[in-house]
Amino acid sequence: MIEIRNLSKSFGPHLVWKDVNLTITDGESLAVLGKSGSGKSVLMKHLNALLYPDTGDVRLDGENIFALSYARLRLARQQFGVLFQGAALFDSIDTFENVAFPLRYFTKMSQAEIRDRVEECLGMVNLKDAGHKATSELSGGMRKRVGLARAIVMQPRYLLYDEPTSGLDPVTSDEINDLILHLSKSLNITSIVISHDMHSVLRVADKAAFLDDQKLSWYGTVDEMRKADHPKLREFIKASEYRI
């Protein structure tokens, strides 16, 4: 379980958000919504301490992640898989090696076991035959899928998705949404999806949190969100529907 308690963050004089409180229980899929610049990705990077807050804490099974020593933090981070916005693939190695990367350093798996596991993960994202490709040869959607394969290869408890469908065409976006849904249900992974794509949110999330006006402005289930009378949230949903 992840508990976010009284989290505040600013960059210099610019306040991103303050006093964010949120609990993410195991197995649930939470979508974090908000306009561009509302600090969604910043919030995500606090969950595995890639960024540190001004005040507040993030508790992972009751343990404050910001109070951990660097050695213990590195172990805690291995519980997370992260799909970055641009996939963040290592461009000096090919697709297969990108997915195999954490296995080579953090497990004692043999070469054959690594190959099997990488092929299994690439198969899950429908890219079984793309292992030999250089990352520069991959399309935007393929890059996201390889990023996803790399994120799940170590069997994490939590998956963080930063704008998983941004910049993708509707068909590829749907494929990615299906994958997220499949992974969270079949592997029972807790998912936190950062997005402003309402179509994606309605499809993959159980709960939603809306960041606006430098705070957590609304939180509830996706069903509650459809009926919420929060003016800005309604405006946000309506604007997204027009786009759809």
Partner 1 sequence: MLLFLEIGRYCRLLYEALRSVTETHTYRENLFAEMVKTGIGSLGISMLAGSFTGAVLTLQTSYQLTSSFVDRSAIGAIVSQSMLVELSAMVTALVLSGRVGARIATELGTMRVSEQIDALESMGFNSVTFLVVPRVLAGILMFPIIYLAAAAAGVIGGNLAGMLTGVLTSAEFMEGARAYFFPWDVAFGMIKSFVFGFVITSISCYKGYFATGGAEGVGKATTNATVLSCIYILLADFILATILL
Least distance between partner 1 and beta carbon 14 (Å): 14
Applying CB under 8 A, does 66 fall inside the site for partner 1? no
Of the candidates 238, 198, 244, the residue with the CA atom closest to the CA atom of residue 222:
198
Structure tokens at 48: 């595995």
Q: Which of 26, 63, 74, 178 binds partner 1 (CB under 8 A)?
A: 74
Structure tokens at 217: 């402005």
Q: Which of 37, 86, 123, 170 binds partner 1 (CB under 8 A)?
A: 86
Least distance between partner 1 and beta carbon 233 (Å): 29
Q: Which of 109, 114, 154, 222 binds partner 1 (CB under 8 A)?
A: 154
Q: Which of residues 6-35 bind partner 1 (CB under 8 A)?
A: none
Beta carbon nearer to partner 1, 66 or 101: 101
- Residue 6's region, left for phi above 0, alpha for psi from -120 to 50, else beta, is left
Q: Which of 8, 10, 23, 85 binds partner 1 (CB under 8 A)?
A: 85
Structure tokens at 20: 């964010």
For residue 178, CA distances in Å to 57, 184, 193, 197, 199 come to: 32, 10, 13, 14, 12
Listed in sequence order, the DSSP H helices in 3-109 are 40-47, 70-77, 95-106
Residue with tokens 């190959």: 115
Q: Which of 67, 75, 134, 239 binds partner 1 (CB under 8 A)?
A: 75
Q: Which of residues 103-142 bind partner 1 (CB under 8 A)?
A: 105-106
Applying CB under 8 A, does 90 fall inside the site for partner 1? yes
Residue 8 in contact with residue 20, Cβ under 8 Å? yes
Applying CB under 8 A, does 220 fall inside the site for partner 1? no
Structure tokens at 111: 């070469």
Q: How far is CA 210 from the centre of its chain?
A: 16
Q: Which of 1, 15, 68, 88 binds partner 1 (CB under 8 A)?
A: 88
Applying CB under 8 A, does 101 fall inside the site for partner 1? yes
Three-state secondary structure call for residue 88? coil
Contact range with partner 1 by CB under 8 A, out of 67-75, 121-129, 180-188, 213-221: 67-75
Least distance between partner 1 and beta carbon 129 (Å): 24
Applying CB under 8 A, does 242 fall inside the site for partner 1? no
Measured distance CA(23)–CA(20) in Å, rounded: 10
Residue with tokens 């030999």: 132
Beta carbon nearer to partner 1, 91 or 178: 91
Measured distance CA(168)–CA(12) in Å, rounded: 33
Applying CB under 8 A, does 82 fall inside the site for partner 1? yes
Q: Where does this chain bind partner 1 (CB under 8 A)?
A: 45, 48, 50, 70, 74-75, 77-78, 80, 82, 84-86, 88-91, 101-102, 105-106, 154
